[in-house]
Amino acid sequence: DTIHGIAHSVQSFGAHVGAIHRMRGGYESDRWRLMVHDRKTGMTQNLTEAFDRHVDAITWARDGKSLYFTAADEGQESTFVVPAAGGSVKLVLKGTFGDLQAIAGGRVLVATQASFTFPAEVVRFNVDGTGLSRITTLNDSFLSGFGLKPGESVAYTGAEGRAVQAWIVKPSDFDPARKYPLLVLIHGGPQGGWNDAWSYRWNPQVFANAGYVVFMPNPRGSIGWGQEFVDDVTGDWGGRAYE
């Protein structure tokens, strides 16, 4: 019973336990923080209080001096690193990653990566963010004949002058000289988000290649633009999120 409250993704390193944790009881969309508990001293430290993003997958560096993690950030699930003793969070690599593990004596990270154009495949990259390469290519031959187009990130002004991000996915045979019907996909939650990732439920490529231009907004309530943006939908559904 080391970290009280709602915690998961527990990873141990020697006497230290890392986990992600929510501070506000009874609120299912509170920000996940990265916590480290020292079993010898009984002290627990919040490593990401100043990092206004939801932490997801975590893994210890092989020397135990830092932790790598993924976090929802502006329509992706990028990889970051933070010192285990506390300090600034640093970006390692942008993209949509998960299932992090450190290998090769801690010099390399293995993860899964996905996007709008391919389901999760296993990749590797150096801990400084260089050398990204694929380990698996299980879906490449099947998907190669579809010519799927990547998502295009756009931004527009929403309520109170706040910028709102959205993804656009077009048919593989898109012709800019033609007009297309627009199909808007609204993500559930409403606290959640459309990330540049493969969906097994609401896959925009299915709709795009049925002849639509697909518009996927991340309005107020979406995760990846700070907790205030998430909280702003509470008690205001039908309000600012609709602008």
DSSP string, the chain: --S-SEEEEEEEETTEEEEEEE-STT-TTPPPEEEEEETTT--EEES-TTS-S-EEEEEE-TTSSEEEEEEEETTEEEEEEEETTS---EEEE-SBEEEEEEEGGGTEEEEEEEETTEEEEEEEEETTS---EES--TTHHHHTTT-PPPPEEEEEE-GGG-EEEEEEE--TT--TTS---EEE---SSSSB---SS--SSS-HHHHHTTT-EEEEEE-TTBTTS-HHHHHTTTT-TTTGGG-
Over residues 202-243, the pLDDT tens digits come to: 999 999 999 999 999 999 999 999 999 999 999 998 999 999
Over residues 28-82, the pLDDT tens digits come to: 899 999 999 988 999 999 999 999 999 999 999 999 999 999 999 999 999 999 9
| In contact, 89 and 72? CB cutoff 8 Å | no
pLDDT at 5: 53
pLDDT at 78: 98
Q: Give dist(CA 104, CA 87) in Å, integer.
A: 25
Q: What is the mean pLDDT of residues 153-161?
A: 96
Tokens matching residue 205? 């490529």
Over residues 98-130, the pLDDT tens digits come to: 999 999 888 999 999 999 999 999 999 999 999
What is the number of other CB atoms lying within 10 angstroms of the CB of residue 163? 9
Instruction: State pTM to two decimals.
Output: 0.92
